[in-house]
Amino acid sequence: MVRADTVHTVAELARRCGAKLQGGGKAEISAIAPLDQAEPGAISFLNDAKYRQHLQDTRASAVILHETDAALCPVDALVTDEPYLVYARVAALLFPDSVVEGGRDASARISERAEVHPSAWIGPQAVIEPGARIGERVFIGPGCVIGADCVVGDDSRLVATVTLCRGTQLGRRNLIHPGAVIGSDGFGLANDSGRWIKVPQLGCVRLGDDVEVGANTTIDRGAIGDTVIADGVKLDNQIQVAHNVCIGEHTAIAGCVGIAGSTRIGRHCTVGGGVGISGHLTIGDDVHFTGQTLVTRSITEPGSYSGNLPVMPSRKWRRAVVLIRRLDGMMQRLLALEKRLSNEQDRRPKEAD
Amino acid sequence: MVRADTVHTVAELARRCGAKLQGGGKAEISAIAPLDQAEPGAISFLNDAKYRQHLQDTRASAVILHETDAALCPVDALVTDEPYLVYARVAALLFPDSVVEGGRDASARISERAEVHPSAWIGPQAVIEPGARIGERVFIGPGCVIGADCVVGDDSRLVATVTLCRGTQLGRRNLIHPGAVIGSDGFGLANDSGRWIKVPQLGCVRLGDDVEVGANTTIDRGAIGDTVIADGVKLDNQIQVAHNVCIGEHTAIAGCVGIAGSTRIGRHCTVGGGVGISGHLTIGDDVHFTGQTLVTRSITEPGSYSGNLPVMPSRKWRRAVVLIRRLDGMMQRLLALEKRLSNEQDRRPKEAD
Amino acid sequence: MVRADTVHTVAELARRCGAKLQGGGKAEISAIAPLDQAEPGAISFLNDAKYRQHLQDTRASAVILHETDAALCPVDALVTDEPYLVYARVAALLFPDSVVEGGRDASARISERAEVHPSAWIGPQAVIEPGARIGERVFIGPGCVIGADCVVGDDSRLVATVTLCRGTQLGRRNLIHPGAVIGSDGFGLANDSGRWIKVPQLGCVRLGDDVEVGANTTIDRGAIGDTVIADGVKLDNQIQVAHNVCIGEHTAIAGCVGIAGSTRIGRHCTVGGGVGISGHLTIGDDVHFTGQTLVTRSITEPGSYSGNLPVMPSRKWRRAVVLIRRLDGMMQRLLALEKRLSNEQDRRPKEAD
């Protein structure tokens, strides 16, 4: 059970979060908890059939649930077609973002040639380099490094130890988690008789509004043009976004994904964990990749795409691998059989047909 | 050859590390080296048959080895069924952890509302936020950020540039490597007509005793309950552990693994490098995954599991891929052949049978 | 269009970058831009047939291109067999590395027992520990941590928030991007009746000259000997290099690759994104792995190697996966068919042959 920072009645939560109220709605909600751990004063939610067993005995004061479960609910309910969305809204009301108090920690190192809005907070051991502009109510957490000429839009929050390299531009309401590196050099190399020559990386990284970037995710600057992450894009942890990638509005990408250079990903896509996307591809809108798929061609048709072996007991897997290696042989044998059978038919006395 | 911090006789090492002494045991050991690079005064070990060739000519003063190799050893030997384990013990004796000297670097930024035990060391440019509690003999290395209300158990060591987000709890004797981020927000999003709404992440991360976390590994806080890493778990570098994952006692996970939300992994499991594990799964005790397997279903039976294509010359691989795409066609042709053959048999004059 | 830091005539660029000049060569070049975005004063390049359409209408003052495109070029041209390489040289001339000004930020924490060359720059909030040696014209960016006894060779640049653990040695002209961790402990564990015992990691990491290490890449120290990255190796972001790995000269490795312990990779290799390489393997010179391949055996023959399923619509993929699981059954049926057909032939009346 997690104690909330604010208190609301059930009725008020229903009204403000777009759900239908079932029951009196007078109880005051001051906590959130799973169905089976809730105490009076808590709100809970039911979004997955496998937790339905806990509904009848819940001690929560209210439950967010779907119409189909409403009849079984022993307490007040917030009834909705989208319990998880309503839960997100309720949680945001009960746990509002903390208000940023303007100021700067004495240990922060802020260039005199940086512009920091007085309503922004610059945390301990942070570094703000010359030419950087930090907007209103921005939170720069401990240990962050904001490179020269970076822009951080209003109401953005860099939790801690975020590194923005020279010239990176963040939009408004960005949320950047620790260890993220934005604006590092792209991997641009030209081969000179066996030695690699570095290709200067001259572009920048631009993030739109409402972008979230996960812990230890890296986004490289463009080689000539910019790497662009559009409004509402959500990136999980440990994602690698190479130079000149463009990611369209409201696309969500799970952890450990790698996207190679100059690939364009459309809007409203979802990319499962561990997916790899080759360079110079175009992925259309509403394309969805399941986990660990390797994407080596452009995809224009909306839909779900996959590509990976299923998990098997290692013994069976070793056998499958042997057979995959031999697929060519199997195909040859199949063709030989077909031919042999046809030859036989041809040779067989006509009367048998 | 690596010079040790302490000196022990061969006999003493045998006795304290649980091995049987073969030979006089009087030599003093003050270094560790591979068989073929050792000089007198060094101890070496033989754990892999392919290095056996170096045994007869070794200049080491002692060798840790298996009974089966003991007869061939030209010098003193520590004989054991588990040479690698005995080596680990010997190395720990010869290279003891450095003793932590209590104190704080002048550049560390420590909140007055944090509790730091006087025997703990807080390194240069570190940040300790309000409400944090730092236990006895803890080492907080340079550039670490310890968020508000974190707890770091006795004898834990954060090597450098570790970020613990608000409320993270480390047990005793934890060892956390640089760049690790523990307690970052989970990737919790609800879709609101095409836009992603953030679901507040209200839980924390709790690590048991004797946990090791590798460089640049990330462990997200729970959405409501906590993310839990049990006693003795060892995590390599660049692992991503999502919200509400639970990892059981003494499970070891190699680098670049991603574990999606709410999955439970049992005790004494091993997970190979690059494995991806989907969300909401239950993996039992003593389950072992080989490298880069994608785990998309729960596994209750102990054993070894795999799933990946073998490496092949690209030309053969392209052919295999074509055939994998055509497997359905192959199956159809196989069925057609079977049917055709059966029909023929039926049609064939009876006397031929 | 990116404004250059310096100005050169077209003729001078051709001469200094090894290209043949076509046209007068008098125009002054002060910017770089893609063909279709260039303005007068900019140089552009054509390296990929799909951008050839933009050549005839380009407003660039000069274009770097291949002989075969030279006739179509409406403006001055730098003609070469390797347009991308010449572009790299041109860009390096127009955007020279900034000159490092010696000094130290007041907030840097530098041990009195470290040796820092006066021509080196130590940035804000950086930490230099005892025994470290920082060479000439080295740039240590904001928030970097240089552990005890590290060596940073002349002209190396650590962009920001780089962590070098104790004893790490960088060569000359290294370029290390933010969040990289070099010299962290290897993942060395011995199992003691179900519990993992740490094996002390006694070696170091040594990088040659002209090595580049990407953002959030991790390189572990050796267990006994060292982890060695040879001259000219280029590592992209989020790569994991385990203990005692050796990487040969001028090998380039793309993002998200994991290399397990003690593996040796040859010279002039390329490794695609997301590749996993098992431990204790030997990969020869001039070996190339395509993206996400899992390498589980040593490879001595130069050439290109692969291993991964192709991306497919999820419905087709599910069918393929079912068939891969059933490959063994398919093989059995194929064998049965072959046998059946042979038996029939044997049994068939001789006159039919």
Cβ distance B145 to A311 less than 8 Å, yes or no, reads: no
Q: In what order do the strands lie in the sheet with B240-241?
A: B109-110, B127-128, B145-146, B163-164, B181-184, B218-220, B240-241, B258-259, B276-277, B294-295
Distance from CA of B181 to the nearest CA of A (A): 7
Nearest beta carbon to residue B202 from set A2, A234, A254: A2
Q: What CA–CA distances, in Å, run from A197 to A190, A290, B338, C91?
A: 5, 36, 60, 11
**Residue C353 binned pLDDT confidence (cut-offs 50, 70, 90):** very low
Mean per-residue pLDDT, C22-35: 96
Residue B123 has pLDDT above 70, yes or no: yes
Contacts of A200 in chain C (CB under 8 A): 88, 91-92, 94-95
Q: b vs e for C297-321, b when ≥16 Cβ sit within 10 Å of the residue's Cβ? A: eebeeeebbbbbbbbbebeebeebb
Task: Quote the minimal CA–CA distance from A24 to chain B in Å.
Answer: 26
Q: Is the pLDDT of residue B162 over 90?
A: yes
Which tokens is B233 given? 């778990």
pLDDT surpassing 60 at residue C351: no
Query: Smallest CA–CA separation between B210 and chain A, in Å?
Result: 24
Looking at the predicted structure, is the pLDDT value of residue A338 above 90?
A: no
Task: State pLDDT tens for residues A49-77.
Answer: 888 999 999 999 999 999 999 999 999 99
Residue B330 has its nearest CB partner, among A141, A236, A331, at: A331
Nearest residue to B168 via CA among C31, C28, A159: A159
Q: Do B88 and C197 touch (CB under 8 A)?
A: yes
Of C126, C191, C303, the CB nearest to B313: C303
Distance from C-alpha of B187 to C-alpha of B200, rounded to nearest angstrom: 10
Nearest CA to A58 out of A82, A69, A42 is that of A42
Length of chain C: 353
Q: Looking at beta carbons, which residues of chain C come within 8 Å of A286?
A: none
Amino acid A215: pLDDT: 98
Average pLDDT, chain A: 94
From its phi and psi, is residue C205 left (phi > 0), alpha (psi between -120 and 50) or beta? beta
Task: Tell me the pLDDT tens digit for each residue of B189-226.
Answer: 999 999 999 999 999 999 999 999 999 999 999 999 99
pLDDT greater at residue A170 or residue C318: A170
Q: Give the residue from C139, C213, C216, C268 with the most A CB atoms within 10 Å of its CB, the best one to mutate.
A: C216
pLDDT tens for each residue of C247-292: 999 999 999 999 999 999 999 999 999 999 999 999 999 999 999 9
Q: What is the pLDDT of residue A348?
A: 66
What confidence score (pLDDT) does residue A349 get? Answer: 62
* Residue of chain C with shortest Cα separation from B252: C196
Instruction: State residue B353's pLDDT score.
Output: 44
Segment among A12-26, A272-286, B333-347 with least mean pLDDT: B333-347
Tell me: pLDDT of B227 over 90.
yes
Q: Which residues of B touch A256 (CB under 8 A)?
A: 240, 256, 258, 276
pLDDT confidence band for B352 (50 / 70 / 90): very low
Q: Is the pLDDT of residue B313 over 70?
A: yes
pLDDT digits (tens, 9 = 90+) for A153-166: 999 999 999 999 99
Model pLDDT, residue B349: 62
Residues of C in contact with B338 (CB under 8 A): 333, 337
pLDDT at C118: 98
Interface test with B, best of A270, A292, A341, A345 (most B CBs within 10 A): A292
Partners of residue C294 in chain B, C-beta under 8 Å: 274, 291-292, 308-311
- Residue B267 clears pLDDT 50, i.e. is over it: yes
Sketch the domain layout of chain B as residue ranges: 2-94, 103-305, 314-352
C159-207 pLDDT, tens digit per residue, is 999 999 999 999 999 999 999 999 999 999 999 999 999 999 999 999 9
- Rounded mean pLDDT, B68-79: 96
DSSP letter assigned to residue B186: P
Superfamily in which the C103-305 domain is placed by CATH = Hexapeptide repeat proteins (2.160.10.10)
pLDDT band at A353 (very low <50, low <70, confident <90, very high): very low
Query: What residue of A is the nearest CA neighbor of B187?
Result: A236
Whether the pLDDT of residue A289 is over 80: the answer is yes
CATH of span A2-94: 3.40.1390.10
Identify the band that residue B149 occupies on the pLDDT scale cut at 50, 70 and 90.
Answer: very high
Whether the model pTM is above 0.80: yes
The reply to whether residue B129 touches residue A142, judged by beta carbons under 8 angstroms, is yes
Spatial separation of the C-alpha atoms in residues A258 and A125, rounded to whole Å: 31
User: Distance between CA C51 and CA C71 in Å, rounded?
Assistant: 16
A22, containing H or E segment: strand A20-22
Q: How far is CA A244 from the centre of its chain?
A: 19
Average pLDDT, chain C: 94
Question: Is the pLDDT score of C31 beyond 90?
Answer: yes
DSSP codes joined into one string, C98-117: PPPPPEE-TT-EE-TTSEE-
Q: How confident is the model at residue B40 (pLDDT cuts 50, 70, 90)?
A: very high
Nearest CA in chain A to B111: A124
Task: Give residue B348's pLDDT band: very low, low, confident or very high (50, 70, 90).
Answer: low
Q: Maximum CA pair distance of chain C?
A: 102
Spell out which residues of chain B touch residue C316, defining contact as CB-CB under 8 Å. Answer: 325, 328
Q: How far is A115 from chain C (nearest CA, A)?
A: 18
The question of whether B243 is a catalytic residue gets the answer: yes
Average pLDDT, chain B: 94
Residue of C125, C127, C334 to mutate, testing the B interface (most B Cβ within 10 Å of its Cβ): C127
What would the two tokens of residue B303 be? 């054993």
pLDDT at B138 over 60: yes
Closest Cα of chain C to A132: distance in Å?
Answer: 14
Q: How confident is the model at residue A226 (pLDDT cuts 50, 70, 90)?
A: very high
Asked if pLDDT for residue C352 goes beyond 70, the answer is no
Nearest by CB to A237, from B218, B290, B299: name it: B218
Share of chain C above pLDDT 90, in %: 84
Measured between beta carbons, the chain C residues lying within 8 angstroms of A191 are: 85
Percent of chain A with pLDDT over 90: 84
Mean pLDDT score, B54-60: 95
Residue of B nearest to C289 (CA): B314
- Pairwise pLDDT comparison (C143 vs C352), residue with the higher score: C143
Q: Which of the other chains make 3 or more beta carbon contacts under 8 angstroms with chain C?
A: A, B
User: What's the complex ipTM?
Assistant: 0.95
